[in-house]
Every structure is written in structure tokens, then in C-alpha cells.
Amino acid sequence: MVDKYIATARGVIVYDPHIIDSVNVATTMAGLDDGVVVSPQLMKRLTAAPYNMSVLADLRGKFSSNLQANIWQVQNLWPRASHRLLVGLLPTTPSQIAGHVTTYGYLRDYAVANRAMVFWFSLQSPTEINLFRQVLSTVTPGTPYLGWYDKEFRGVRLTSSYGVYTIAADYFSNLTVFSGVRAPSLLQKTAPSLPLRNKIYVTFTMSEGDNFQYVQHAMRHLWEDPQRGNVPLNWSINPLLYDAAPTMLNHYQLTASANDYLVAGPSGGGYAYPSNWLFSNLNSFMRQSNNYMQKAGLHVIFIIDDQTTIPSYVSHAYSAYAHTSGILYNWWNPISRMTVSAGNLPVSTQVTATTRLDMLKAIRLSASQWNGRSPLFISALAISWNLSPTDIKYVVDHLGSNYRVVRGDQYFQLFRAARGCPLPIISECYSIEGYSFFIVVGLCAGHRVRPAYTYTYKGRRVMQNENIAPATGTSPFASKPARERVGLVLDGSNAAQAVRTIVEAEGVGVRQIWMTQMPLSPDTLTTMAAAATQTNAIRLGTSIIPTYPRHPLTMAMQALAINDLAPGRLRLGIGPSHRPIIEGMYGIQMVKPLEHLREYVEILRGALWQGRVEHHGNFFNVNTTLPRTARYQS
């Protein structure tokens, strides 16, 4: 092998056996300088005849500690390395660090081929965490982190807060080869629709599918279990395999039985905790995830998060950007429950177990309050390191006659039938200079109808919801809402372009425009004020403007200024926002957000409608009278 490819390398890079992190430094240098990483012993052989390779760098004695090696790499190599991906690999072998099982040979070929920086920052060291943050802060949200961590939950939480998702790939072999060999992606076999009965419907999902090396190794062995296919079973898998390892994805698609169903996640196109993402970054992640899910033919998502219940803004992001029939949420819940979030998105919390008997107990506990008068829905996660299709077959055989085990797609189809939740119906309305406008209708019975007004621009899909109550006696699933309006939502990343778009939208009959206040984006109210001077009738809605960074009197005066420019056209939306934004970005302590919001609204109402504010609370002390000319006129 060396004889055949020696000409492709410019020389060798020698790591220091006494500073083990120099292995990672050498790997990064190999990608940047077309070198080969070698030990001191191998260096002697390759620099002698017949190879006569030159030494590009010798790291022996260069660093006094692993920390110094990492700091030097961040300062000197990171600016030259690719920022398209991050690679985190333990730099040593199992025999050198007790308790670790990751060898340093896996994935390094892919890191070198992509000129990536390879590092291993301990999440138990404050100094190394700061180094990690320094690197994360310089990559674009939506960047993948390939490898692993010494503390899984700390690592995923940290990377998620920067909009970086994780791909467990430290044991993945030959990614350079697998990503270069194409194979078709096949549609999954459609399961027959089942009649809805008053039964307990259960769906099982195998865990770990986000993990590239699991798909390459352990999942393949589970797939060969002789009981696979005898009972309905969901298999989580990473949709990014469409590009990363098309032949592997094709193998599972091609050999799946009628009872096997592939689902995306966790938590979409990569392992992440969605509630730790900024809203704008989460939208981008979901657009990317949806793109790969559609290519891989995946329509159900398994999410892992560090919240017990799915936050509203997370479910809205998944509802808006992922064409999913439902979400399987988390795995450590004591009882499985099914709810509807974002108006039309079924979310099923999962129970889990590591043994057959514990799985039976968990399912029976969730079913213990069932009265038999309506269907009940239970989802269960099987930990793939402990349970196999044979174990799931055992559980199914011992559930009893009141239970029906179904695939994930059937599970959500049955729930939608039980709750009157059709899949969203999409119909195109019209186009403006590259924008395609859609109305999405079809929400769950018992919920306020929330037609989702969406548009795509140059392949990018954006969504805005508006509450519209269904007319009495009419179906909430009609092809048109009870009161039809078409609106447009803009991201506001470019103020001048946003104003031009608002003017053009009014010209073709759009009745309302919406812009939310994203962190570090142009000020929404300022943009609305500029648009107010160039339009006549279009309503200007702010979606949500965070309250913590802006005093309520400041908010009131800005709103009054816009109302003076565009009387009655401003729709002001406010809210406390989310802790990662308020505390993580603004550095403001987010204490008692509901009480804070109550005081904020009281001051805002007084300023806007009465022109007089006298408020003494825990957050604000305001005593002022506004000029009579500065009153809101609707």
C-alpha cells in the first residue's frame, strides 16, 4: 500500500508519544499539508531507503502538555482548517487510557481528506470547554460535529447551543469510501391503513440510529436477527446516510420487510437537543433535515431532548419545516402519552427498558388507566445495545388481546383518525419574483385552526401561523379556513431587502407581513417603521419581540412612532423569548418570565392606550405621563 501511494504524500509528520494529543495535531497537519502521520519508529523506516520521505514536521518536544498542544492547534491550525465540519476523536488507544474503547485509526482518513481540525476537548475541564466554545463560535450553525465526547449529554448540550449537531462516527470505518460510492434511495413499502378500534396501540422503535457506526456494525447484526419481520418494528436511522453512506441506506431499504419501518433521528439529520438551539438555527437545521428525510423516504422523527415535554417553539419548527406525520419524543418517560403540538403535530413520549420484562411492565403501566371506551396510544423505545427483534417478539407475544402492535406510520395514522388530525393539505396560491406562496390547512379537532402560510424562496421554505377559529358547524379540515388571509413572513436578515419585499407584497395584494426579532439581526421595529413610510394598507406584524432586552416604555414609544406613520396597521407581538437567547446571548438573567411579562404588558397597555403609567412591581417601577399626541389610535 505504501509503495503504491507514496507519491501522493509530501512527507511525514511525527507525533510525540509523550504528548498524546499531538496525534490529533499531526492529523490536522496531515490534511493541511498532504502528509502522513507516523510514530517515531515508523518515521525511521519511511525516511530511509527505498522511501526516502521528507519530514514535514516533528512534534517531539514541541509541547509541554496536552493543553498546550490543543491551544497551539486552535491558534495556528484552526484558521487554516476547513470550517465545514468538526472532528472530535480520542487521540489514544484503549490500552493507554483505562475505560476508553476508541482507537485513533477510525474516521481519521475522512478528517484528512476534508482538511478538518481533529481535537479532543474534555468536558470536565473548564479550560478545554472554553477552547471548545472558541471553536464552536466560529462555525456556521448547521455544521456537523463528527466523533464523540467524554461526557455525552454535556457535549450535545454545548454543541446544540451553537447550532452544531452531532454525528457519532468515531468508530465508523472508511467513510471516505462509503461517501464516494453512490446507490439509489428507495421508497419505503407503504403499510396498509388499519381500521380504528378501541384497542391499545403500541409502536416499538430501536434506538441509536443517529449513530453512523451503529448503522455500520451493531444494526447490521440486529437486522440479521431471525425474528426480524415477525412483528412491526421501527428502526431509527440517520437520513444523512443518503450522502454519507448511500449503499448502507440502500441495503436497509432494500431488505426491509413489510413490518420494518425506518424513522429519522434522533433528532432529525443529526443528534441534537432541539430546545438548546436558537430558534433561527433550529429552523435551518429542520430545513436541512427535511431535505434529507425526503430523499431517504423518512416521515416519522425520533427526538431526544433534555426537556420532559417538547417546547412550543421546537414543535412549531418541526411542524413548519419537517414533513413528518408525528414525533416520537425522548425515552426516559415513566408513562407514554400522546399529545398534539403546534396545532397538527402528534407527539408521543416514549417509555423504555433494557430487558423484556421491564419493557412489559413499562407498557402495562402506561395502559393501566385505560377504560376501554376509546383507543390508547403507547410508544416504546428499545435500547439497541440491550434488546433485539427477538426480545420485541417476546414482549408482543405477552401483551394480551387488547393490544395492537403497529408500525410508526400506522401508529400516527390511527391517532390522527382518532383525534381528527389529517395530514396538512398544501395548495399553492401565487408567486412573486421567486417566492411561492402556500396555504397549509387541516388541523386537529378541538384545536383552533391555524392555517400555516408558507413560502419558499430559492428553495428555502418559511412559515407563518395565524389563529383562525373555525366557523360554527363547519369542518376544521375544509380546503379553506373560515376566514381566509394570506400573509408573508420574512427573516429580516437584510433590512433594505425586507422593505422592498413588503412594498412589492402589498402591490400584489398580500394583506399582512410578519417579521420576528432574531438575535443579532436588524431591529424589526426599525424595519417596520421604514416600511410604514412606503406602504399604505398592508398590516405590519412583528411576531415576537423579546421583552427582556427592551424596556416597556421604549417598546411603547417605538410602537407609537410606527402607529403614527401607519395608523392602525401595526400588530405588535411580544414575549419573554428563550433562556439560551436571553441569558446565553444577551447576558440578562431570565427570572420569573411569566411575572415579568405580566408587568411588561401592564406598562405597555397603560402607555399605549391611557398615556399614563404608574406601576411599582418586582421588575419595573414606572411613574410617567405621555404627551396626548403619543397615544395609540386604532
Which range of 186-200, 284-298, 361-375, 542-556 scores highest in mean pLDDT? It is: 361-375
Partner residues linked to 352 by β-bridges: 381
Reported as a single tens digit per residue, the pLDDT across 505-520 is: 887 778 888 887 877 7
Give pLDDT, residue 369. 92
Residue 278 predicted with pLDDT over 80? yes
Query: Residue 174 pLDDT more than 90?
Result: yes
Range of the domain at 618: 482-625
pTM: 0.70
Could you tell me the CATH number of the domain that includes residue 555? 3.20.20.30
* The pLDDT of residue 30: 98
Backbone angles phi, psi at 86, to 5 degrees: -115, 145
- Name which of 64-78, 322-336, 574-588 the model is least confident about: 574-588
Residues 120 and 258 in one domain: no
Q: For residue 493, what pLDDT is reported? A: 66
CA atoms within 13 A on the CB side of 528: 33
The predicted pLDDT at position 267 comes to: 95
The answer to whether residues 163 and 208 belong to one domain is no
- Residue 494 reports pLDDT greater than 70: yes
Contacts of 21 (CB under 8 A, 6+ apart): 63, 66, 69, 70, 91, 119, 120
Judgement on whether residues 216 and 317 belong to the same structural domain of the protein: yes
The HSE-up count of residue 604 (CA atoms within 13 Å, CB side) is 19
State how far the Cα of 597 lies from the Cα of 601, in Å rounded to an integer.
6
Question: What pLDDT does residue 138 have?
Answer: 97
Q: For residue 434, what pLDDT band results from cuts at 50, 70 and 90?
A: very low
215 and 305 in a single domain? The answer is yes
Asked if residue 59 belongs to a domain, the reply is yes
Contacts with 99 (C-beta within 8 Å, 6 or more apart), sequence order? none
Whether 438 maps to a domain, the answer reads no
Predicted pLDDT of residue 532: 93
Measuring CA to CA, how many Å separate 12 from each of 34, 56, 105, 109? 9, 6, 16, 15
How many independent structural domains does the chain possess? 3
User: CA-CA distance, 444 to 456, in Å (whole number)?
Assistant: 25
Say what the pLDDT of residue 473 is: 31
Same domain for 136 and 8: yes
Residue 353 located in a structural domain = yes
Residues 227 and 157 in one domain: no
Q: Say which range, 306-320, 366-380, 400-414, 418-432, has the weakest mean pLDDT.
A: 418-432
Same domain flag for 210 and 156: no
User: Residue 310: which CATH number?
Assistant: 3.20.20.490
Contacts 24+ apart (CB under 8 A), 90-99: 90/120, 90/148, 90/170, 91/20, 91/21, 91/22, 91/23, 91/24, 91/120, 92/20, 92/23, 96/20
Percent of the chain with pLDDT over 90: 61
Same structural domain for residues 137 and 212? Answer: no
Asked whether 146 and 86 are in contact (CB, 8 A), the reply is yes
Q: Which amino acid is at 355?
A: T
Beta strand segments in 142-280, E:
144-147, 165-168, 200-206, 233-237, 260-264
| Element (DSSP H or E) covering residue 28 | helix 22-33
User: Domain check: are 240 and 353 in the same one?
Assistant: yes
Tell me, rounded to whole angstroms, the distance of Cα 207 from its chain centroid: 17
| The three grid cell numbers given for residue 405, joined into one nine-digit string | 402492535
In degrees rounded to 5, what are phi and psi of residue 459? Answer: 85, 0
Residue 470, domain member (yes or no): no
**Contact at 8 Å (CB) between 421 and 445?**
yes
In a domain, 516, yes or no: yes
pLDDT of residue 262: 98
Which class for 108: exposed (0-12), middle (13-18), buried (19 or more C-beta within 10 A)? buried
Residue 561 located in a structural domain: yes
Quick one: 52 and 160 in the same domain? Answer: yes
pLDDT at 72: 98
What does the block give as the cell for 251? Answer: 441495503
